[in-house]
A and B are shown apart, each in its own frame.
Chain A
């Protein structure tokens, strides 16, 4: 089948799917309607558990077990990427050459590095109160380290980024989530039940296990992003093929 015929088959299929999707759209609940039975119950439960950010309450309290699965997907994907992007037998490592960085870029990145790092940690710590949490804050914190790559060069980044430590941190974050879940078992209820004291609504120590789980996720995500980016950057900067293999 040539390209043209394939395109026709594709368009036929897309037209069919489009017709089904449009038909389904007219049967969905009206956009913006007042009928949200699950949402109302989730908000009610979040307030009952003194968690101001209802989304964090859904993710780390009501659906905490699903988030464990989600976290494990991230863990597995990082593992897969590390395996896929390892240095192959016919490749060798080169030392990256130091690069000249324009002074304004260097100043900008060095000023922003601590600000970004603190912002990331703030977002993780306030996940139970304001929009954000472990996933978002972890990514921000991991980004902060990479500003050093922009400000100085790759070798500077490698000095503050002991990869082995971050790989351990990734696993520790995942383990911390599992162990926090077991606290529910010790309290005599189900796994990942929010069994800790709930605190006052709208204070930093509120929501029971939600801030702890957020911290565990934040650690895992930050380490995972650092490890992921390190593998991709290594491919671009350090690892070279030996000769031209065909």
Chain B
């Protein structure tokens, strides 16, 4: 069970985020839920790269080949993920500000009609 638990945690975080996103009644809350969905990918990536008793792949204070290190490829991907997540959040929040200005509401259910 321990072998798959981190993957299941990632799946759970993703599903919780999706649930929040779909049932959200406030656009700022929805942007937060999207960030939760994205957090699932961090957990998934880092668990894929983990190695038992491994340490960080940083050789500033570690002699190479003395200890197992975790996978640096997925850690680099997680960094990319964080950066993209932050930019997406910024852009979405900017859109939310515009929606709030034009429609005077943040409830996605009240945004059903088109307006010129």
Contacts and interface: CB of A to CB of B under 8 A. Distances in A.
Contacts, number: 153
B80 interface: yes
A194 B36 CA distance: 36
Nearest to B14: A21
Contacts of B98: 84-85
Interface string B31-65: 00000000000000001111110101111100010
Contacts of B93: 232
Interface string B54-87: 1011111000100011111111100110111001
A34 B49 CA distance: 10
A224 B103 CA distance: 29
A226 to B, nearest CB: 13
A25 B76 contact: no
Interface residues of A, number: 58
A36 B79 contact: no
Interface string A31-54: 111101011001100110000111
Interface in A68-106: 70, 73-74, 77-78, 80-81, 84-85, 88
Interface stretch (A10-18, A113-121, A148-156, A174-182): A10-18
Given A32-B51, A85-B98, 18 more contacts: A14-B18, A25-B11, A28-B48, A31-B3, A38-B71, A39-B49, A43-B57, A47-B59, A55-B79, A58-B72, A59-B79, A70-B80, A73-B83, A73-B87, A74-B83, A74-B87, A77-B91, A78-B90
Interface of B: 2-8, 11, 14-15, 18-19, 22-23, 47-52, 54, 56-60, 64, 68-76, 79-80, 82-84, 87-88, 90-91, 93-95, 97-98, 101, 104
